[in-house]
Amino acid sequence: MVRNQGRVTRFVVMAMLQAVRAESLGLPHDAALSWGLNRAIFYAAAKRGFRGGDSSGGEGSGTPGGSPSREIFRLGDDEAYRDLTAKQFTFVIGDKSQTVDAFEQAVTTRFGTKENFELAWTEAVHILENFDRATLESRERFYGEVYRPRRDELSDAWTQKYSPAPKPPQRPANSGRIRQA
């Protein structure tokens, strides 16, 4: 069984709130989705102690010609690596770009339908409207004042309101039948 199947997890809440944060601070929508997924991955890795992967911490060594493949992008006092090789404005951790498709797979699908996702997005926008720009620009204040106090409440509420119930395991077609010769 898939862990947390059918749930809007803390990871999803972080990705959503970070994406709305980024858009409210001026990033274009698709880049904001990439930022949201990037920061959710970063915090999940930090929680687990950054096990696995290389020791570069996401820093690129560059392309074969010597030009860098990524640069540090700052949003307030927070930062992430921007993928300079991508056609779209995206962020990267290690060697993996956080694309809009990756956001949709990791986050949007947890809401069952695009309409459900958009309803939750609107709720997140309303939540962030209650905070000043200085709070949104501060990595520490955003985490401590916006995300942390709401993460479980939003996870539970969004799961209940928007997330489809997990599908029961399917039985094989011949399950329970006696085979006749």
**% of the chain at pLDDT higher than 90:** 70
Whether residue 82 lies inside any domain: the answer is yes
Whether residue 168 is contained in a domain is answered as no
CA distance 136 to 4: 29
pTM summary value: 0.81
- Answer whether residue 89 is part of any domain: yes
Q: Is 176 inside a domain boundary?
A: no
Pairing of strands 78-83, 70-75: antiparallel
Q: Is residue 121 part of a domain?
A: yes
Please indicate, yes or no, if residue 147 is contained in any of the structural domains: yes
Domain of 133, in residue numbers: 10-50+67-162
Determine, yes or no, domain membership for 175.
no
- Of residues 167 and 28, the one with the higher pLDDT is 28
Residue scoring higher pLDDT (36 or 165): 36
84-99: average pLDDT: 92
Residues 6+ apart with CB under 8 A from 15: 36, 37, 39, 40, 103, 106, 107
Tally of domains within the chain: 1
| Residue 151, both tokens | 């993460």
Q: Is the pLDDT of residue 149 over 60?
A: yes
Mean pLDDT of 131-139: 98
Conformational region of residue 97, where left means phi above 0, alpha means psi within -120 to 50, and beta covers everything else: beta
Whether residue 58 is predicted with pLDDT greater than 70 in this model: the reply is no
Report, as an integer, the average pLDDT of 142-163.
96
The span from the CA of 73 to the CA of 84, in Å, is 11
The predicted pLDDT at position 56 comes to 42
CA dist., res. 130 & res. 9, Å (int): 23
- 112 — phi, psi (to 5°)? 80, -55
- Flag whether 111 is in a domain: yes
Mean pLDDT of the residues in the chain: 85
pLDDT for residue 166: 66
Q: What is the pLDDT of residue 177?
A: 56
**Backbone phi, psi, residue 148, to 5°:** -55, -45
